[in-house]
Amino acid sequence: MLKGIDLQVQAREALTIIGPSGSGKSTLLRCLNRLEEPDAGSIHVDGVDLTAPKTDLNRVRRDIGMVFQSFNLYPHMTALGNVTLALRRVLHLSRHEAEERGRAALEEVGLDDKLAVHPGQLSGGQQQRVGIARALAMQPKLILFDEPTSALDPELVGEVLEVMRRLREQGMTMVVVSHEMGFARDAADRVIFMNQGVIVEEGPPSQLFGAPKHQRTRDFLRRLLH
């Protein structure tokens, strides 16, 4: 359960949320596009109140990409088919427009040679990169990453983090829930530490990793980094 969360994310900011399992990280992330329903408070994305009764949630969600820890790809569809599905069904693009945009997104994540390949023939890292391409193809204003590397073998983690670092350099607004402390330290503009449903501490990576103010943060990092 989340308690008293007060958080702002700036345009072009890369925000990483860390904390122990069960601390509310993924719940907070899923509230940002109302995959989880908050029972109090409000959520504003680019000036639109997602919790207002008259808000067209489907319209707002087009601007919010989501990358899950389990890749959520359709096994019977090619990489390109997975990326273009929402472009055609949600944005109602023509097949030609959708495939053009889908190819560009797959090229962006380094998979332009895998357009016609099905998920079962791809590594976990490649499948997750298809998931990122699917989010990118919608041209969102914000991408949410829910532990995008947690289902991957260790040797495949790097290729996904590299794509995410590149997106950050290009100015994509990102909120990332992750156990990858190296990514949080190197690629985030700001890091939030959560515990038991509250934001315990937040700050730039240099401060949060180098001189955490809260004892709970210090204990968490000590166990994780040593």
What mean pLDDT is reported for the chain? 93
Cβ neighbours for 87, distance < 8 A, ≥ 6 positions apart? 93, 97, 98, 101, 102, 137, 138
Q: Which residue has the higher pLDDT, 124 or 38?
A: 124
Contact call for residues 218 and 212 (beta carbons, < 8 A): yes
* The pair of three-digit structure tokens given for residue 221, joined into one six-digit string: 């990092």
Task: Write out pLDDT tens, residues 185-203.
Answer: 999 999 999 999 999 999 9
Cβ neighbours for 23, distance < 8 A, ≥ 6 positions apart? 194, 195, 196, 197
Output the pTM of the full model.
0.94
Cα separation, 82 vs 65, in Å, equals 14
Task: Write out pLDDT tens, residues 121-149.
Answer: 999 999 999 999 999 999 999 999 999 99
